[in-house]
């Protein structure tokens, strides 16, 4: 991504119906002279132990720095990458589904501030 770019990623059927069982989706972003951040204003994913069932995972480097979200555990603030890499992974198992998630990935260059998307209507499970 280049400074000023923004991407919108979301689960299948977001805003229309629940996502499907057995999904595995990954979005990878690489920065080109900017700082990457992910803002996920809507996250409706069922709770599971250690988020091992359905989950949303945001990684900010190639190896270890990642966070999983499910149930009431969701990102409250944008997550900033301290590397040139950011990925978002969504996985669902075969048990239950929900409304899903929507995330916005931004690429902010030096001295640049892009707006954080906040005017999103978050659906609940269908």
Q: Report the relative pairing of strands 66-69 and 24-30 from DSSP bridges.
A: unpaired
55 and 69 in contact (C-beta within 8 Å)? yes
**pTM listed for this prediction:** 0.89
Ordered by where they begin, the domains of the chain are 6-108 (2.60.120.290)
Q: What is the pLDDT of residues 53-64, one digit of tens each?
A: 999 999 987 655
Q: What is the pLDDT of residues 23-44, one digit of tens each?
A: 999 999 999 999 999 999 999 9
């Amino acid at each position: 991504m280049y400074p000023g770019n923004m991407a919108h990623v979301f689960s299948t059927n977001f805003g229309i119906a629940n996502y499907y069982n057995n999904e595995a989706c990954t979005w990878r972003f690489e920065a080109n002279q900017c700082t990457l951040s992910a803002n996920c204003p809507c996250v409706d994913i069922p709770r599971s132990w250690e988020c091992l069932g359905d989950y949303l995972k945001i990684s900010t480097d190639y190896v270890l720095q990642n966070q999983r979200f499910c149930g009431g555990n969701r990102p409250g603030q944008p997550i900033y990458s301290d590397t040139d890499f950011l990925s978002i992974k969504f996985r669902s198992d075969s048990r239950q589904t929900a409304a899903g998630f929507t995330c916005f990935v931004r690429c902010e260059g030096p001295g640049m501030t892009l707006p954080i998307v906040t005017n999103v209507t978050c659906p609940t499970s269908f």
